[in-house]
């Protein structure tokens, strides 16, 4: 197990390094200077490029970057002058993480029971309605849901505030908009996995042994049915924690997703790199955690390591 974790962490670090190398190369290939602006010209521009080290050869710039990275220094933003990238990331990640966690809870609380209810439903008609609703949830893009909720419940009915994340009420609309897709996906996954487990011989065996329905449900069915859901949770949590650009823009949430897109369009190389590394690290960690939880839940996986 320890060896497995060590191996996964080493692969994660290597992945991050490749990510840094590719992003660095790509940002350097982008034409135009990040400091190009109507107010900075001639000598002033040259002095500023010198200050940011942009006058040095690209290979040297990369080495300096990697060296600083090892010290936890992601550099200074080119466009938010004088602001450290780590500071920008730490300022913008919390709103995204807060909203991501609320959405995550919503997904668990709604998605899993919905999937179980669907699997246990006897009527095919009800199953059909459920399935249609879930298909709709998966297929409607979140920006349409976000806009529709904003207009209907924010602007028209004025039930919920739509600007920022100041109070718990502010979370309602963006969390629903962000959560609709994962809720539908988790419910669908839970349903199919639950139905699959229900068909297994050990469930019939457990029932035949006279074990109570509740114990069968929790210990035998849910535990096994949750495996694919947990695997899905890895990328899903990463997706929620890295923020949705559209939702953050629409509900004016000063999160990391919005910052990332702004940084790209501003040619803010250091910020783009910093956020890419941050998001990359989150994705790697989430996937690792999902694999570990699977290994803990399922002895077969644990033994195969």
Partner 1 sequence: MRKVRKLTALLLAAATMASLSACGGGDSNGGSSESKSKTAANEIIMAEQPENGEYDPAGATAYVYFDYQTYCLEGLVRYAEDGSIIPAAASTWESNDDATEWTFHLREDGKWNDGSQVTSADFLNTITRALDPETGSWYVDGLFVIKGAEEAFNNDGNTEGLGVECPDDLTIKFTLKEPTANFLDLLSLPVYFPSNSKYAKSEDPEWDMDTTKNLCNGPFYFAERKAGISITFKKNENYYDANKINIEKVTYKFMNDDQAKVAAYETGELDALGSAPYYVADTYAGKSDLKQSSVLVTNYILFNINMEPFDDVKVRQAFALAVNRTDITTAIGAQSYIPSTTFVAKRYKSKVDGSEWGDVQETLLDENLEKAKELLKEAGYENGEGLPEITYTYPAMSYEAEVAQVLQAQWKELGVDVKLQAMEYEVYVDERRSGKLQLARHQWTGDYGDPATWLDMYREGNSQNDIKWVNEEYNSIMAESAKELDAAKRQELLLKAEKILVSDETVICPLFTTDFLYLINPDITGLKQYSTGGFDFRYITKKAAE
Q: Cα separations (Å) of 216 from 194, 200, 228?
A: 12, 12, 19
**Token pair listed for 75:** 């550099």
Q: Give the position of tokens 């940084």.
A: 263
How far apart, in whole angstroms, are the C-alpha atoms of residue 212 and residue 215? Answer: 5
- Answer yes or no whether residue 213 interacts with partner 1 by CB under 8 A: no
Q: What share of the chain is helix, strand, coil (3-state, %, to 5)?
A: 80, 0, 20
- Quick check: 253 and 247 in contact, CB under 8 A? yes
Minimum CB separation of residue 18 from partner 1 in Å reads: 26
- The residue among 181 and 295 lying less far from partner 1, judged by its C-beta, is 181
How far apart, in whole angstroms, are the C-alpha atoms of residue 132 and residue 174? Answer: 23
**Long-range CB contact pairs, 89-93, < 8 A, 24+:** 89/256, 89/274, 89/275, 89/278, 91/254, 92/254, 92/255, 92/256, 92/258, 92/259, 93/255, 93/256, 93/278
How far apart, in whole angstroms, are the C-alpha atoms of residue 234 and residue 242? Answer: 12
- Quick check: 79 and 34 in contact, CB under 8 A? yes
- Answer yes or no whether residue 38 interacts with partner 1 by CB under 8 A: yes
- Answer yes or no whether residue 164 interacts with partner 1 by CB under 8 A: yes
- Answer yes or no whether residue 177 interacts with partner 1 by CB under 8 A: no
Minimum CB separation of residue 246 from partner 1 in Å reads: 9
- Answer yes or no whether residue 26 interacts with partner 1 by CB under 8 A: no
Minimum CB separation of residue 217 from partner 1 in Å reads: 27
Binding mask 122-161 for partner 1 (x = CB under 8 A): ---x---x-----------------xx-xxx-xxx-x--x
Q: What is the DSSP letter of 74?
A: -
Minimum CB separation of residue 120 from partner 1 in Å reads: 18
Among 61, 86, 91, 231, contact with partner 1 (rule: CB under 8 A): 91
- Answer yes or no whether residue 258 interacts with partner 1 by CB under 8 A: yes
Among 1, 163, 205, 296, contact with partner 1 (rule: CB under 8 A): 163
- Answer yes or no whether residue 303 interacts with partner 1 by CB under 8 A: no
- Quick check: 40 and 305 in contact, CB under 8 A? no
Among 19, 20, 48, 237, contact with partner 1 (rule: CB under 8 A): 48
How far apart, in whole angstroms, are the C-alpha atoms of residue 169 and residue 99? Answer: 12
- The residue among 6 and 164 lying less far from partner 1, judged by its C-beta, is 164
Minimum CB separation of residue 36 from partner 1 in Å reads: 5
- Answer yes or no whether residue 178 interacts with partner 1 by CB under 8 A: no
Binding site for partner 1 (CB under 8 A): 31-34, 36-44, 47-48, 51, 79-82, 87-88, 91-92, 125, 129, 147-148, 150-152, 154-156, 158, 161-164, 249-252, 254, 258-259, 262, 267
């Amino acid at each position: 197990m320890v060896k497995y974790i060590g191996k996964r962490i080493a692969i994660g670090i290597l992945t991050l390094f490749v990510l840094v190398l590719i992003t660095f190369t790509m940002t350097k290939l982008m034409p135009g200077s990040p400091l190009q602006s109507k107010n900075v010209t001639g000598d002033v521009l040259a002095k500023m490029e010198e200050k940011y080290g942009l006058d040095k050869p690209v290979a040297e710039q990369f080495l300096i970057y990697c060296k600083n990275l090892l010290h936890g220094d992601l550099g200074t933003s080119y466009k938010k002058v004088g602001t450290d990238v780590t500071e920008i990331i730490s300022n913008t990640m919390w709103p995204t993480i807060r909203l991501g966690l609320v959405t995550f809870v919503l997904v668990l609380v709604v998605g899993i029971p919905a999937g179980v209810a669907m699997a246990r439903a006897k009527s095919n008609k009800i199953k059909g309605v459920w399935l249609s609703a879930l298909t709709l949830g998966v297929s409607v893009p979140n920006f349409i849901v976000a806009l529709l909720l904003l207009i209907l419940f924010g602007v028209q009915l004025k039930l919920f505030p739509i600007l920022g994340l100041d109070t718990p009420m502010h979370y309602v609309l963006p969390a629903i908009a962000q959560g609709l897709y994962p809720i539908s996906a988790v419910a669908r996954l839970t349903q199919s996995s639950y139905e699959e487990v229900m068909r297994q011989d050990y469930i019939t065996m457990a029932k035949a042994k006279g074990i109570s329905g509740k114990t069968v449900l929790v210990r035998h069915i849910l535990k096994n049915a949750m495996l694919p859901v947990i695997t899905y949770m890895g990328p899903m949590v990463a997706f929620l924690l890295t923020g949705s650009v559209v939702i953050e823009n629409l509900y004016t949430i000063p999160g990391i997703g919005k910052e990332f897109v702004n940084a790209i369009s501003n040619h803010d190389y250091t910020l783009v790199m910093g956020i890419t590394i941050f998001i990359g690290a989150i994705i790697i960690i989430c996937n690792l955690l999902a694999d570990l939880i699977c290994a803990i839940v399922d002895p077969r996986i644990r033994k195969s390591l």
